[in-house]
Amino acid sequence: MMITPDLAELRAKAAFICDMDGVLYHGNHLLPGAAEFVDWLKAAGKRFLFLTNSSERSPRELRQKLARLGLDVSEEHFYTSALATAAFISSQQPDSSVYVIGEAGVVNALYDAGIAMNDVNPDYVVIGETRSYSFEKLERAIRLVLSGAKLIGTNPDLTGPTEHGIVPACGALMAPVELATGCKAYFIGKPNPLIMRHALKQLGCRREETAIIGDRMDTDIIAGVESEIETVLVLTGVSQPADLPRFAYRPRHILRGIGDVPPSM
C-alpha cells in the first residue's frame, strides 16, 4: 500500500538526495522501480545525488555496480560517508594519520585527501563497514584509542539490508571499541548535518528545493528532518510501518518503493 497518495509537491522538487542500499538495490539485486526512477530523474532534468552511508565503495565502484545492474549513472552523482569522513579529518587536522578498519572505499578516500595510514601512533582510528573484521584488528584499535587516537565512525548504522537479509553495519562494528575504551565515536554519515551540507553543496540547491529518499528512520529520515529537507520513506529496506511509533518524528511521505516517485505513464 502506498500511504502517501498525493505526490505532486514531491515531484515538483528540483533536486533529490537518494539512499542506495534498501532503496535502489539489495546487494546485487535491483529493486522494482529503480530503473524507472533514474530514467525519470534524467528526463525531468532533476538534480540528483546518491548519498550512501556505506563506506565500502568509491563513486567509481558505485557507478560500475549500478551499470552491472542496468543503470547508467555517472560518477558525479555519488557521494559516500567515506568521502565525508576524509573531508572532515582533512579539515580538522591536515597531514594527519589514521588506522583504518574498513574497505577500499574509505582507505582510498583518506589517501586522496592526503591522510596517511599508520598502525603505530595514528591521530585517528577510523572504522567503516568491512568483511575483514577480526579480533586482531579490534584489539589494535582499542590499544590505539587508549593511547590517545581519536575515534571516528564513517556512519552510525547498526545494520544494513542485503538480498540475504539484515547484516551488521558500522555502528555494530564500532560498539566493542566504544565499550572497551569508554570513548564515544564521532560518526560522520547520516544523520550528521555535515554530510547533508556536503550533499546540498554538491547539488547546488537549497534545502527548500530538495527531497531526501531513504529506507531508514534513524538515519535518512532524521537527517532530512534535522536539515529541514522534505522526507520520503520507502518500505523496501530497514524501517517498516510497525517501527514508526517508536520515533518522535515522521516522514512527509511513505511509499511502497522508489518506483512510486515517478508519475505513472
**For this structure, is 19 an active site residue?**
yes
Long-range contacts of 68-76 (CB under 8 A, 24+ apart): 68/28, 69/25, 69/28, 69/30, 69/34, 70/30, 70/35, 71/24, 71/30, 71/34, 71/35, 71/38, 72/38, 73/38
**For this structure, is 21 an active site residue?**
yes
**Residue of 21, 157, 220, 260 marked catalytic:** 21
**Residue of 19, 123, 218, 260 marked catalytic:** 19
Let me know how long the chain is. 265
Residues designated catalytic: 19, 21
